[in-house]
Chain A
Amino acid sequence: MTSNQQTAGRALAGAGPSRSKRRKWLDQEGRWGLLFVSPYLIHFIVFVAGPLAASLYFSLSDYDMLNPPKWTGLDNYARLLHDPLFWKSLWNTLYFVILFVPSQAFLALLLAVALNRKLKGLKLFRMAHFIPVISSWTVILYVADSVFNPRFGFANAFLTRIGLDPQRWLQDEQLVIPLLVLIAVWKGIGYMMVIYLAGLQSVPGDLYEAADIDGAGAVRKFRAITLPLISPTTFLVIVLSTISTFQAFEQIYVLTGGAGGITAAGGPNNASLVLMLYLYREGFAFMRMGYASALAWVLFTILFVLTLLQLRLQGRWVHYD
């Protein structure tokens, strides 16, 4: 790819024989190129590299934004180890990720397989699944509330009708995370489904025809053809959704906090306090920027290790032709 670009660049520069022999380090095209990429250069230096270094430094200091940061070494990290709320938020996050990632990946694949055919009105069905995707979490709050409001939602009306006890749903310590997962799967499934649809379209149709001749059933075809050939997409979906779910913030902030904002979010009794929510609370509500930065680096490290692990494991089950 890179050599192609270089050839492309050379062709564009109208590379005469004298030019290609001895080129100045920074010719006219090079200056244009640097000018073109300068927005990203500024971005990288000011908003990526600098902040990365700063946040590592903050994580090793005591910093409240009013006074200059005071170096404390690994203190913040040591405090994290003895902080029950950190462990609780870590556990909540893991619980959320473990419930969410596989169930969404599986259901999205199922849906994509069902939609991967010539159906009348296919576009309408696809659009139906996209409406939650394009909604903000604030919209989703009221949609979810119409069903799961403990007082006047339809879920409790249904439970009462069939003679079961009404539930407190998002205000129930046991139910809050599974329900948040359910809502998140519902909201995001259209997005994942489209990624899968693109993957399915690359599976050659003659494989299925051959399987038809051999008399293979739908389930067998799915397991023997679709699943292995779609595995690169599955891998991508799982990696992407693991990374983003570990950083879940908005959905939990809105759905558990509602109008109450950060002081109400994460409840009941911190049962839905995830790492990002805890980080936000420590950093922006209590101004413990050092401690919050340490939390950020722990989260970053977990994500880094998980991504490496997933890359290592992909050889075992991902099929590339």
Chain B
Amino acid sequence: MSRCQQVGRPILRSLQQSVSSRPCSAALFSTTTTRLEDVVADTTSAASSESAPPPPPSGKPTDEEWRQRRLDPNTTTLRWAEKKLIKAGTPPVGSRRRRVAIRTSENIPFEQLPYQAFQEARKILQEDRQEKLDKIVAATARLRFLKQTDPKTLQGGEAMKARRIDSARKYLDELKIQADINDPLVKRRFEDGLGDMSKPIYRHLADRRWRAMDRKIIAQRISQFFIVPDLLPKFEPTADVKLFFRGEKVSPGEILDSRITEVPPSLRVQVFDKGERLLSVAVVDADVPNTENDSFDRRCHFLAANIPWDPTKNSLPLSRVAAAGGDVAVPWLPPFSQKGAPYHRLAIFVLEHKERVDPERLKKLYGGRDGFALASLRNATQAAPVGFNMFRTVWDEGTAAVMERHAIPGAEVEFKREKYESLKPHRKARGWEAKRQGPKYKFLEKYTKRIA
């Protein structure tokens, strides 16, 4: 036994005793009850993780009990259990390595870990947090004071007051983030995917993670596929939109099989600013070939509005928009591309608006689908585009069947490249072969029939 272990042992033992003496029925069968509890106690939205391992009813065989224990999302490493948990909607927490560590380690609550440096560091962090909390109290008081001030006493009047209130609020939000940003428990909960998105710190962390890579990819797609000049004059995405077709994630810009895109996709929409708002979702095909005026048109493939949303919500299947409280103005039309036509860009825009939009009006405006313009929608509904994702379609072996199934005309059309006449004047054929084309040289046909 090493020296430090010798030192730490009595502390450990006392801690273990105090832990095990806690009145907790679950401690009888789970080795990680304290951790589980502490997770649950810290988060307000962890009801799902609490309900994940249902307590085994007494009187069942031990086999069943063992099974239940293996279905603990905090500790399980078994493949079948992981699969089952994912299906149940309570995916296993963290990495498998971590789950093994939790299962095999002693049950010491995180904040009571017996390392001196750790405890000293925690003390510093707590002091810092206290400082920030004091500042928050002061900032809140100032905000209240600002709200009560008479704008006539200020030099800038009403506008000045509004600006001051805004800046004070911004400062307060920043302080709220700063108070929690160094908390290791917060960090752990966020990394486990247990962060409560109604709290500013988790929203801040999620936003940072999104901006680290995913947003960059989306921004690249927006510029490289010319979404910005073609569909919108300018656009900066602020919400994370992930795209899933038939339960599989699709990377932005991927060319998808028309049979896969026959059903509406499901979106994961994560907004990072607080508060309730209404969302609209528009799916636009930006490359509909138009042979009449030799150009490209746009077409609306889906339009839904009035979907109530907040940062705690995440999943938005487009096939169940009505269940989420929204209105479908234009139902899903499977994306298709005619043979020979260049690839179609299907842009999925998530827009944000404050007031409800009349779905009937949208139906009247965009029910025809053709010639849909996002700018027009933006003007009609006062909605601002916040999120974006996209995929592409080309003609494939399933497209004809898809078009037939959905009674879409145009499957028999094929596009061919336009031919251009040479600008040079026609020149008579020259050379040995050209000279011997006449009936006089019939016997030489073997040599003269191929002439360029």
The answer to whether A and B come from one shared complex is no
